[in-house]
């Protein structure tokens, strides 16, 4: 049974203010919740699920028995964000991402500058995960724990570390690393010297990289265009740039 207080609490987590106040966020659906149950890195606050899901996954749930509430399909609908609610909803603690200085100095990281669309943010984290990028720094972006972002990551938030920070904190701390950023007047990405470590800055959906971030960019790059479109979607551009860097792509 779902209490009025639980409904109020879960609905409050739609808002960033309350996510920060309670240090909790929502994850929905069978697949991601099963991954959380076998991942162990995230602290589970509570699980709300329909009876048959609880039966199906009983062996995984023994450690969390005191955190589980069995609810009806109808109750799930009242707390779900999905058009087709998928059996289970879970509340997690927001992790305190520890920075692994050494790993950062030795690998490629993404820096997202003012990404605003939850779908884009989710797709970018999913893309980072695909290409094995471990750290994603967020400068004034949509909240990573926004339920729409979490769902769009398709589970990538469980593996990719996201850090809310400001530009100085990154680029002054790792000032020996190259900083790549996409600009319309940059050098073709396939003719640029790409490094296996450093930062790739992805700009805002409409305005690109902000002028105050530009001075930190050491390498201006661009994805060559063949048609007449003025720009690419931010997540699509991230995918092309990440593939190029991680795979060392060159034009034949």
Q: Which residues bind its own copies (CB under 8 A)?
A: 119, 123, 126-133, 152, 154-156, 159, 190, 223-233, 235-240, 243-244, 246-252
As a dihedral over the C-alpha atoms of residue 239, residue 245, residue 250, residue 251, rounded to 10 degrees, the angle is 20
Nearer to its own copies, 1 or 229 (CB): 229
Nearer to its own copies, 24 or 120 (CB): 120
Closest CB 53 distance from its own copies, rounded Å? 19
Closest CB 31 distance from its own copies, rounded Å? 9
What strands, in cross-sheet order, belong to the sheet with 44-50? 24-28, 88-93, 44-50, 68-71
Per DSSP, the three-state class of 180 is strand
**Apex CA 113: angle with CA 115 and CA 163, to 5°?**
90
Nearer to its own copies, 94 or 240 (CB): 240
Nearer to its own copies, 66 or 230 (CB): 230
Closest CB 114 distance from its own copies, rounded Å? 17
Euclidean distance between CA atoms 111 and 164, whole angstroms: 10
Q: What is the CA radius of gyration of the chain?
A: 20
Nearer to its own copies, 84 or 96 (CB): 84
Closest CB 9 distance from its own copies, rounded Å? 27
Closest CB 154 distance from its own copies, rounded Å? 7
């Amino acid at each position: 049974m779902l209490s009025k207080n639980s409904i109020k609490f879960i609905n409050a987590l739609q808002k960033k203010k309350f996510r920060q106040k309670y240090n909790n966020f929502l994850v929905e659906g069978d697949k991601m919740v099963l991954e959380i149950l076998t991942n162990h890195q995230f602290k589970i606050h509570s699980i709300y699920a329909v009876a048959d899901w609880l039966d199906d996954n009983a062996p995984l749930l023994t450690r969390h028995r005191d955190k589980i509430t069995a609810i009806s399909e109808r109750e799930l609908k009242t707390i779900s964000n999905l058009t087709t609610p998928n059996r289970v909803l879970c509340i997690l603690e927001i992790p305190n991402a520890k920075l692994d200085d050494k790993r950062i100095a030795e690998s490629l990281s993404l820096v997202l500058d003012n990404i605003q669309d939850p779908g884009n943010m989710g797709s970018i984290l999913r893309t980072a995960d695909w290409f094995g990028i471990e750290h994603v720094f967020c400068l004034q972006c949509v909240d990573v724990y926004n339920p729409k972002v979490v769902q769009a990551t398709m589970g990538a938030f469980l593996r990719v570390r996201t850090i809310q920070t400001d530009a100085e904190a990154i680029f002054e701390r790792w000032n020996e690393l190259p900083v790549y950023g996409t600009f319309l007047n940059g050098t073709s990405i396939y003719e640029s010297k790409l490094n296996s470590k450093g930062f790739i800055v992805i700009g805002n959906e409409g305005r690109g990289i902000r002028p105050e971030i530009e001075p930190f960019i050491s390498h201006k790059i661009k994805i060559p265009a063949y048609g007449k479109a003025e720009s690419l979607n931010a997540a699509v551009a991230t995918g092309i740039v990440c593939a190029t860097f991680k795979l060392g792509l060159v034009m034949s």
